[in-house]
């Protein structure tokens, strides 16, 4: 694993969370959008949804099914 740019080990978990929140809030939302390939994939999936209208299985049902199978 790469060496971190900054050592946060001296911070408490609460301080780390606060720092992460402040760092996240400092970002310009327009500058953190999806990569071009990801945006294209999202557009493709949205178009497929509009064509067939099937949104798939709700996540709760999927989790229940996986739990029943022991996964």
Count of H-run helices and E-run strands, the chain: 3, 0
In the structure encoding, which two tokens stand for residue 2, read together?
């790469």
For residue range 20-57, what is the model confidence (pLDDT) as tens digits? 999 999 998 888 888 899 999 999 999 999 999 888 89
Answer yes or no: is pLDDT of 1 > 80.
no
Looking at beta carbons, which pairs linking 8-11 to residues 24 or more positions away fall under 8 Å?
none
Looking at beta carbons, which pairs linking 52-58 to residues 24 or more positions away fall under 8 Å?
none
> What pLDDT shows up at residue 32?
83
């Amino acid at each position: 694993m790469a060496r971190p740019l900054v050592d946060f080990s001296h911070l408490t978990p609460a301080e780390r969370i606060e720092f992460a929140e402040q760092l996240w809030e400092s970002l310009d939302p327009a500058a953190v959008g999806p990569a071009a390939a990801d945006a294209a994939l999202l557009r493709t999936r949205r178009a497929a949804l509009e064509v067939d209208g099937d949104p798939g299985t709700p996540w709760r049902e999927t989790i229940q099914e996986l739990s029943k199978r022991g996964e």
